[in-house]
């Protein structure tokens, strides 16, 4: 308001001068006052219009800057979100595949009924040929050939290899989840970890049963895997599928 009043008093002084001139010219008071009012009104409106225009331009400029800042923030959020989704789409299939492999290998290892080659019925030549086709070390081959109960020794060694294979698959699943799980939704990542843990516990339990010839067999971990693992695996499968297919059916 101060600039307005400064202009008002300046205009008023100027009007007084005009008023004195007009009065000296013999014009009536009404004419002089009317003229002064008209001049003041013209100058006042012009000043107000100018000030309004300046403030409007300043407001527009500030709004433009604010919109630019907002656009920059939105673009940044969108870019980070896209990068995260791209990374998830790249890594999630691999994490899922490793879990499927681990579950499949564990299922074979944990199966109640196993079939083994009957090495007791093989002659020395056939036994040598058969053992050479396995992953057994030379010392392990000799242990089988020299054993009084060849079938028992062969089965025990084979189960160690099968256990090692399953553990390798579980290790790959755990490693993949630990390295890349940060790109997976937390709830889904937790389900992956829980499923791997259920499989691992059942595998360890089974290995102990075999190695120490435990009777009656321990079954707690195996039963838990069956009761909790199957629905959890199905839940994970549906969640993984949803992450990919929902984006193709969402209407924009």
Dump pLDDT digits (tens) for 90-130: 889 999 999 999 999 999 999 988 899 999 999 999 999 99
Residue ranges for the chain with pLDDT beneath 50: 1, 4-5, 25, 27, 79, 252
Indicate if 53 and 100 belong to the same structural domain. no
* Domain annotation covers residue 57: yes
Sign of the torsion angle spanned by Cα atoms 98, 100, 104, 106: positive
User: Which tokens is 252 given?
Assistant: 């924009």
> Are residues 192 and 127 part of one domain?
yes
Could you tell me if 34 and 124 lie in one domain?
no
Is 231 in the same domain as 195?
A: yes
In a domain, 78, yes or no: no
Take residue 188 and report the two structure tokens written for it.
């889904």
> 127 and 191, same structural domain?
yes
Domain that holds residue 197: 90-249
Question: What region does 27 belong to: left with phi over 0, alpha with psi -120 to 50, or beta?
Answer: beta
Is 54 inside a domain boundary? yes
85 occurs within a structural domain:
no
Whole-number mean pLDDT of the chain? 82
Least Cα distance to 177 among 191, 198, 166 occurs for: 191
Stated pTM of the model: 0.69
The total domain count for the chain is 2
């Amino acid at each position: 308001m101060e600039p307005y009043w400064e202009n008002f008093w300046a205009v008023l002084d100027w009007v007084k001068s005009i008023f004195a001139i007009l009065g000296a010219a013999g014009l009536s008071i009404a004419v002089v006052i009317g003229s002064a009012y008209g001049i003041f009104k013209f100058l006042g409106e012009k000043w107000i219009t100018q000030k309004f225009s300046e403030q409007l331009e300043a407001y527009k400029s500030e709004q433009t800057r604010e919109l630019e800042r907002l656009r920059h923030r939105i673009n940044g959020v969108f870019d980070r979100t896209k990068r995260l989704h791209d990374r998830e789409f790249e890594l999630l299939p691999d994490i899922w595949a490793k879990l499927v492999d681990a579950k499949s290998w564990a299922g074979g290892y944990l199966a109640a009924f196993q079939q083994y080659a009957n090495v007791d019925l093989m002659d020395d030549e056939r036994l040598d040929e058969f053992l050479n086709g396995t992953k057994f070390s030379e010392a392990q081959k000799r242990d089988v050939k020299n054993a009084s109960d060849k079938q028992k020794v062969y089965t025990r060694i084979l189960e160690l290899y099968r256990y090692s294979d399953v553990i390798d698959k579980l290790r790959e699943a755990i490693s993949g989840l630990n390295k890349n799980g940060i790109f997976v939704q937390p709830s889904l990542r937790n389900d992956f970890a829980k499923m791997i843990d259920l499989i691992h516990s059942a595998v360890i339990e089974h290995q102990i049963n075999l190695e120490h010839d435990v009777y009656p067999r321990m079954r707690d971990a195996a039963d838990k895997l069956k009761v909790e693992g199957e629905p959890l695996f199905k839940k994970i499968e549906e969640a993984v599928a949803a992450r990919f297919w929902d984006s193709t059916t969402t209407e924009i």
